Amino acid sequence: MDMRCLCQQRAILGESPVWSAAENAVYWVNIPGKKIHRTNPETGRTRAWSLPARPGMIALRRKGGLVVALEDGLYGFDPGSGRLDRLVGIEADQPDNRPNDGKCDVAGRLWVGTVNITDGSRPTGSLYRVDPDLTVTRIESGLRVPNGLAWNPTNDVMVHTDTRAGIVWSYAYDAKSSERLAKREFFRFDRGKTGGVDGAAMDAEGGYWTALFGGGMLIRVTPDGRRDRDIPLPVSQPTMPAFGGTDMKTIFITSAARNLVDEVLKSQPCAGGLLALRVDVPGHEVYPFCG
């Protein structure tokens, strides 16, 4: 299997890879390091921008640049100047929370979850929708570690999980109204045995690819909930996959070096870095934020 380590930055918690076709590059974040990175997959050259707070996630922005969810809200980010512009606050009343996993739907609405930064077992997190007019709507509360967000190729199914709950759910999704409708169990996982479902990406056939944090594995789940592919990784803490490349058949995978002792770090030189894996099915389009 064609797998490479593109960048060995030793991020404590690398997350949220985003493919920019216009720049032929992958953006990703180091949450505790308060940085946005941009890596050229051909050369491995990586540029970093420092941020004033921890970034939970990033997404492309239709008007250019990125949006980044920092601890106090959503910001526009211009890679050319390094400038941040505050767009809207999220959870100003929850100082112990920060944004976590997030993505945009086909209409350019940003969906983003929040997690407790002092105790991940506390159900203080929520799932929000940020519309292009910057209206913020709480969709669900009582979450611990919201993760695994993705939509199928026809944009009528939304997939989401709480990593600590052990169940990935799918919802019938109305892209016009942005409503989550019928909820059903998609598949189960045992976080203690196999690692927990973290970030996810969807391929053009409706296959759901997710990183098992603590399990050192990237898996693919078919639309009917069958786990049909297990790909061992050279890191024990993969965090999120994202499709990219000119043919959308490369999966970029962020990872973490969090709480790994020196002996383990020596045996995992790519831990905290960015991996690239070639696959035989292209990825489903990931949409930019329209706000």
As annotated, the active-site residues are 198
Burial (CB count <10 Å: 0-12, 13-18, 19+), residue 42? exposed
Q: Which three-class secondary structure state does DSSP give residue 234?
A: coil
Give, for 172, the enclosing helix (H) or strand (E): strand 167-174
Q: How far apart are CA 218 and CA 250, in angstroms?
A: 13
Q: Which amino acid is at 110?
A: L
The token pair that represents 265 in the structure block: 């770090």
Instruction: Check residue 94 and report its DSSP letter.
Output: -
The answer to whether 27 and 250 are in contact (CB under 8 A) is no
DSSP code, position 20: E
Alpha-carbon gap, residue 237 to 239, rounded angstroms: 6
